[in-house]
Amino acid sequence: MLNAFNARSIFELTPKDRFRIDSVLAYGDKLILGLSTGALRVYRVLSPDTPDVSLELLRTVDNFSRRKIEVLACIKEAGILVSLADSNVHIHDLNDFTLTETLGKARGASTLAVTSNVERDAETQIPSIVSKLAIGVRRKLLLYSWADGGFQEGKEVTLSANVKSLTWAGGHRIVVGLASGFVMVDVDTASVEEVVPTETTNGAAKAGDDKAGWGSYIGMGGWGSRSLSTRLAGDELLLVKDSSTLFINIEGKPLDRPPIQWQTPPDSIAYSYPYLVSINSAKQQLEVRNPVTRTLLQTMSLPTVTMLHVPPPNVSLTHAGKLFFVASPMQVWRMGSADYETQINELVEADQLDEAIRLIESLESVLLKESKEEKLRWVQMLKAEKLFHRRRYEESMALFGQVSAPPERVIRLYPPVIAGELSIWPDEEEREGSDQGDEDCQEQEEDEEEQMPTTENVETERNGTNGTNAEDEDSHKANGEADESATPEKGRSVTPELKRSPTMESTYGSMRNIAFTRKYGDTASIFSFGSRRTHQANADAANVQGKEDSQPDNGTPRKLEGDELKRAVQDLIGIFLNDVRRKLTKYYDRDGKPKDPLKILSAGSAHEASKNDPLEASFLVLDEPDVEDPVQGRIDKLMETCRLVDTTLFRAYMLIRPALIGSLVRIQNHCDPDVVSEKLREHGKFDELVDFLERKKLHRDALELLRFFGQAEDDSKAPNLHGPQKTVTYLERLKAEHIDLILEFATWPLQIEPELGMEIFVGDTGNSDTLPRAKVLDYLEQQDQSLAIQYLEHIVTELHDMTPEFHTRLAGLYLSILSRELSPEQKTSWQARFLKFLESSDQYRAEKVLGWLPRNHPEYFECRAVVLSKMGRHKAALEIYVFKLHDHDKAEHYCMKVHRENGDGSSEADTIYHALLSLYLQPPAPYNQQLDPALAILSRHGARLEADEALKLIPENVRVSDLEAYFESRIRAANARVSENRIIAALRKSHLLDVKERLLGARNSHATVAEESVCPVCHKRLGLSVIWRLPTGQVVHYGCARKANF
């Protein structure tokens, strides 16, 4: 049980004393005891927060009251002491305890309550402290306020029953406990509102108690038990009647919260931040509870205890450390408190993790030595681990994700099939070697537990009865608060020795050992950035104490196997790993290049959530602060986490969802290549392995695998990889930077299926166009010249590469092919391709190609003519057509082509026909004159020849009749030019007449501008301004016309 408080006896009456203690009041360092004789004793508390706490008697006021002092209260701001004695309310000076006033209307009072609050004046809005006094007199509630050195009477409220208790719910409302229930009274308006539980709260209260619920008690017509109430933290109050409880807000509205299950009705309750304390006089016990979880955390035995006093303010941070007093008629105890870190650790050691979480959440950050966020996250991760070992994987993973647990801490809980070497569970072959180590660890643990000191809850100074720490197990069971697990001795792990990570402290015993778990939690530091995170888990869904698994399980770690492992892995994927991967995506570009986490987390409000996320913030803290490159250090830490998450996701898919492996390895991932390669090979998933290697840019490994299965015989292990198709497709996807790999692994597809292999270099993939062409050409020429020609034809004709070197090399390759022994069909085909290339290309070096072409080989005459034409040596080309090929049609077509390309009037167009005519009529030796083709040229193209030059070439023995066609063509050409000139002259004359007519019409149009004429655009007088006349006849200012875009 928790040791939140310990009792130190500071005052005790002896059996000889003939009086008893009836009331207690503490303020500042003063303690006032009201005695049964009516005397008052004033003490100073010395060393209140140490074990040496003691009292120093300052004063005894023997005649303070004629009867016993039932209630004491003080208003420090006013310096007054209020007492209830003999059913009268007296006002005393707080310094000298002299009686200043007795409230006459309060005769017959049974209880009272005071409060002091800071309020603003309704008119001036100036804040001031307002003190109020409420007194219960039978069925009346008397209200007073302190002003001008005395109490001013306020409203008087009549109630339905006698007043039993009073608790202020603020400066304007007060809860009044009656014999029949509770009411909320507004002190400003005197309105009374009954506090009625809802059906939900009634139903909850009935659990374990036949008489629970307000309705059943009201029907009894009155209660004999006391009506108790106290103010809790925030805007909440707790009402207690017998064993029934109700939580309400300061408005008097019930809260939807289960009631506290009391074994015995308390006699007094109070709130001491952050706990609810109560005393039971019959059982002589003080009980400490968490008001949020309603769990009994501590029970202390105090003999004849009857009084409980918590000095105000008791509901806020200002109360922390002031503690409270407990008294019996003979003794007073000062309640001391352990520091909150110790309390939290005790709860964790007792496996009360929910209580530890609620305690941390209720505390202010300044009350903890460590960061509140770190402490809370640590305990929540312990709870998530406990949930995991209880086989409640969904809740465990949800909680791990909520606190952004380090992935390694979550993953290590799984066996090696999922966590690999990070797993806390050994492989099967390691089990035998670890058995002896387990025995040694258990012996060491038992020795240390024997040496561990015990803690006492109650300390006394004198020979009085010492307090004892007790736990009522029957009460625990009745309240439905079963322990999460057995004590550390009973819960010791019986599993074999577990593997530890380098960051885990060498430990003994099971994972339940808190010392081990604390060190285990140091796997990753926790960081707090910006405002405090809200850690609110679903208490009903994730309460470790309140839910039992379908199978008996005491929370002892056990290695997961079979269907249980698959269920755990399913929740790991769907809840934790996918969420972590989503967070990490922002740290990578689309191509997988990592970004500096510092730039991402400092990018502004858009990443505020990331700044407050402990996992993401951990990327900013380097394990080695003195690293030379901090940016790379942060990136490496990020990549390490990404690699762990993705590799674990891969292992999980391999176990429960093998069909999704393909989709994982094809997208951007950071899986460990060694792990993935090994697993995929084991399971024969070679297609996925190739995809993974390609995604990780391990192209050589992928291509070697493809070559192995591609060249092997058709095997059922990888039928899809048989043959060169997969290799070709893979190489097509590689970019130019991998040209060496492409050329290395393209060889075997080119040897087996050249046409398919050439798709690597000429396919429409986008990457083939970017490959270094010279390097590819050299490679293909080494493989086969025909493949090199195919590649050159592709880049020249389809890619329109104008590099002279490639065009020249293509010509040389054509000649190399033609020099081989070929069949007639092949020879004809290659010659046609060569000639077509020579005619279409203008980029090859004609002089070099001409030097390669044989001069006297008939097969290359036409090729030489084409090359000579490219060089501008038209007469030499015509000589080949006329004298070597004897093809007059080709010679004429050649002239027509040159004339068409150069156009009329150019020197080459004017002389090309004259050159051909001169070759026919004045051939060089030893060729003879060819008159007939010459006359054909004259008849068809004579108009394109200079008449005097052409006639000089015609031999004298040619008859005039043979030249008839020539002369007719000349005359027709001359007449055509004359007719054309006449038509042009007539058209020009007609155009001139039209222009003159339009000019005359324009000159005849006019506009009259009178003295009163105004511009229709600006409506101002035209006067002597520059004007613009519109086609409609209107006149506007020139400037207005420009602005209006007329």
CA distance 521 to 405: 10
CA distance 474 to 467: 21
Mean pLDDT of 127-154: 89
3-class SS at 275? strand
Q: Residues of the chain with pLDDT > 70: what percent?
A: 82
Distances (CA, A) of 991 to 981, 986, 1002: 15, 9, 17
pLDDT confidence tier of residue 715, bands split at 50, 70 and 90: low
Residue 104 DSSP symbol: G
Residue linked to tokens 């591609």: 710
pLDDT confidence tier of residue 542, bands split at 50, 70 and 90: very low
Q: In this structure, what token pair is assigned to residue 388? A: 């995991």
Mean pLDDT of 800-809: 94
Least confident segment among 448-462, 648-662, 685-699: 448-462
- Report yes or no: 89 and 83 within 8 Å, Cβ to Cβ: yes
Query: Which of 464-468, 530-534, 549-553 is the most confident on average?
Result: 549-553
Express each pLDDT in 44-83 by its tens digit: 999 887 888 889 999 999 989 989 999 999 998 889 999 9
Polymer length in residues for the chain: 1046
Express each pLDDT in 373-422 by its tens digit: 999 999 999 999 999 999 999 999 999 999 999 999 999 999 999 999 99
923 vs 451, more confident? 923
> Does the pLDDT of residue 663 top 80, yes or no?
yes
Mean pLDDT of 637-643: 90
CA distance 742 to 731: 6
Instruction: Spell out the SS3 assignment of 889-935.
Output: HHHHHHHHHHHHHHCCCCHHHHHHHHHHHHHHHCCCCCCCCCHHHHH
763 vs 314, more confident? 763
* Count of alpha carbons within 13 angstroms of residue 731, beta-carbon side: 31
CA distance 497 to 785: 69
- Report yes or no: 82 and 97 within 8 Å, Cβ to Cβ: no
Residue 819 DSSP symbol: T
Express each pLDDT in 464-480 by its tens digit: 333 334 334 433 333 33
Model pLDDT, residue 904? 67
Express each pLDDT in 208-225 by its tens digit: 443 444 444 443 334 446
Least confident segment among 88-97, 175-184, 221-230, 664-673: 221-230
pLDDT confidence tier of residue 1037, bands split at 50, 70 and 90: very high
Answer left, alpha or beta for residue 781, where phi above 0 means left and psi between -120 and 50 means alpha. alpha
Q: In this structure, what token pair is assigned to residue 493? A: 């792990």
Q: Residues of the chain with pLDDT > 90: what percent?
A: 51
> Does the pLDDT of residue 490 top 60, yes or no?
no
List strands edge to edge, sheet with 244-249.
Answer: 227-231, 236-241, 244-249
CA diameter of the chain: 176
pLDDT confidence tier of residue 442, bands split at 50, 70 and 90: low
- The model carries a pTM of 0.68
Q: Residue 221: exposed, middle, or buried by beta-carbon count in 10 A (0-12, 13-18, 19+)?
A: exposed
Residue linked to tokens 């299950």: 261
- Report yes or no: 371 and 378 within 8 Å, Cβ to Cβ: no
- Report yes or no: 941 and 895 within 8 Å, Cβ to Cβ: yes
Residue linked to tokens 């506290």: 260
Beta strand pairing status for 163-168 and 1027-1029? unpaired
- Phi, psi dihedral angles at 331 (to 5 degrees): -150, 150
Residue 658 DSSP symbol: G
Model pLDDT, residue 958? 78
Mean pLDDT of 271-289: 92
Model pLDDT, residue 1023? 87
> Does the pLDDT of residue 178 top 90, yes or no?
yes
Residue 748 DSSP symbol: H
Write down the mean pLDDT value for the chain.
81
CA distance 426 to 416: 7
Mean pLDDT of 162-188: 93
Q: What angle do the packed helices 673-682 and 630-656 form, to 10 degrees?
A: 10
CA 106 from centroid of its chain's CA atoms: 65
pLDDT confidence tier of residue 957, bands split at 50, 70 and 90: confident
- Report yes or no: 411 and 644 within 8 Å, Cβ to Cβ: yes
CA distance 350 to 196: 38
> Does the pLDDT of residue 196 top 80, yes or no?
yes
Model pLDDT, residue 801? 92
Question: CB neighbours (10 Å) of residue 282?
Answer: 8
Model pLDDT, residue 135? 96
Model pLDDT, residue 553? 52
Nearest to 448 by CA among 386, 367, 507: 507
